[in-house]
Amino acid sequence: MIKPHGSEVLNPLYVADDELRTKLQGEAENLPSIVISSAAAANAVMLGSGYFNPLTGFMGLQDALSIAENLHTTDDLFWPVPILNVVEDGSAIQPGTRIALKDPNVEGNPIIAVQTVEKVELATPEQMELMTTKIFGTTDEAHPGVTAFNSVGNVLISGPIEVLNFSYFATDFPATFRTAVDIRASIANNGWSKVVAFQTRNPMHRAHEELVRIAMEREGADGAVIHMLLGKLKAGDIPADVRDASIRKMVELYFPNKTVEITGYGFDMLYAGPREAVLHAIFRQNMGATHLIVGRDHAGVGDYYGSFDAQAIFHNEVPDDALEIKIFEADHTAFSTKLGKVIMMREAPEGHEPKDFVFLSGTKVREMLTAGEALPEEFARPEVAKILMDHYQSAD
């Protein structure tokens, strides 16, 4: 199986031993505590799950700046986005102490992890701006990732963590949430050697379905892992439970049995375009995938990134030896009325014009579903469209 990023074996930070975890939980109850941000809690879940291997905890300021500038830590580990615990006020936190990190996303703010504090550092406005610019390619506060990154403070608390639980992800999505450890075990149990990963924060329409099929066929993959984001999104995005139901129905009806694993991970969307695409590649390698589909506007939002910037970064900024996972570069995919099937548009035979493809904007899709209008079967499987329609009409 493909090796994890940066190490020979996976190093999840979740305390899996029940006795040790109970003991740590008791210790944590008596430690100084802080309620961390949603982003930091999601980082803790990813660290606990093994997705952020080989990291041992939250990064300090120098690593954050180094990653922002040149995609490497100060110890020369290739990494695209700083993994941080940022707070507004760190005056009560002392280096060398242990603190309990409380979950902002679960009622009662239970302790999600214990951190051994190495440094408490204040990032200057100039340093925050540099990181924002490099990570997101913009400082525009209308960008949801920029707003989230700059709204939690500028005090970085670094140091290793021990993770006690997986927040609300394991309880709210028990059939879908999986750690990198879990997915590696599933891949091994399935006997798969080549595995395609598909990232999604949206429901999967016919174009997405066919893209997974195309990638599997061309890469000679034994199976695919549909890996959906279960964390916080921007306003207007489809809730995770609705996406989950629609994807499960699509796989059940339109893929051969035992060729696709439906899974999810606990992370808040960054909308960081190219940088986030590279992060996606790293944690898909950590979960055992050999290929990641990177398509048009991967991890993007609005018009902040070029349509294929998330592919270009792998050619222009990622060193050849940085990752073992391979990228399947996908074009925009749509149903050709001339051919009667979904194709990648760059592969359309001569003579195809825009009118020969079935296109629906996101706005048009939402309008039709809200109005109870059936989506064209060329665009969405009817069983998937019904799940989405029921959601929009119940929310109206």
Amino acid identity of 77? L
Pick from 54, 180, 25, 18: nearest CA to 113: 25
SS3 call for 172: helix
Q: Report the distance separating Cα 164 and Cα 161, nearest Å.
A: 10
Backbone region of residue 271 per phi and psi (left: phi > 0; alpha: psi in -120 to 50; beta: other values): left
278: nearest Cα among 252, 305, 258, 253: 305
- Cβ-based neighbours of 303, under 8 Å, separated by 6 or more: none
Of 202, 248, 296, 366, the active-site residue reads 202
Tokens of 16: 């899996």
Q: What are phi and psi of 274, to 5 degrees?
A: -55, -45
Q: Is 275 a catalytic residue?
A: no
Convert 29-46 to b/e letters by CB count within 10 Å (16 or more is b).
eeeeebebbbbbbbbbbb
β-strands 326-329, 333-336 pairing: unpaired
- Does residue 54 have a cis bond before it (omega within 30 degrees)? yes
Please confirm, yes or no, whether 202 is among the known catalytic residues.
yes
Q: How far apart are the C-alpha atoms of 82 and 67, rounded to whole Å?
A: 6
Q: Are 344 and 214 spatial neighbours (Cβ–Cβ below 8 Å)?
A: yes
Q: Which one of the listed residues 85, 150, 165, 201 is annotated catalytic?
A: 201
132's CB contacts (< 8 A; 6+ apart) are: 138, 139, 146, 149, 150
Report the 10 Å Cβ neighbour count for 359.
12
Q: Provide the annotated active-site residues.
A: 201-202
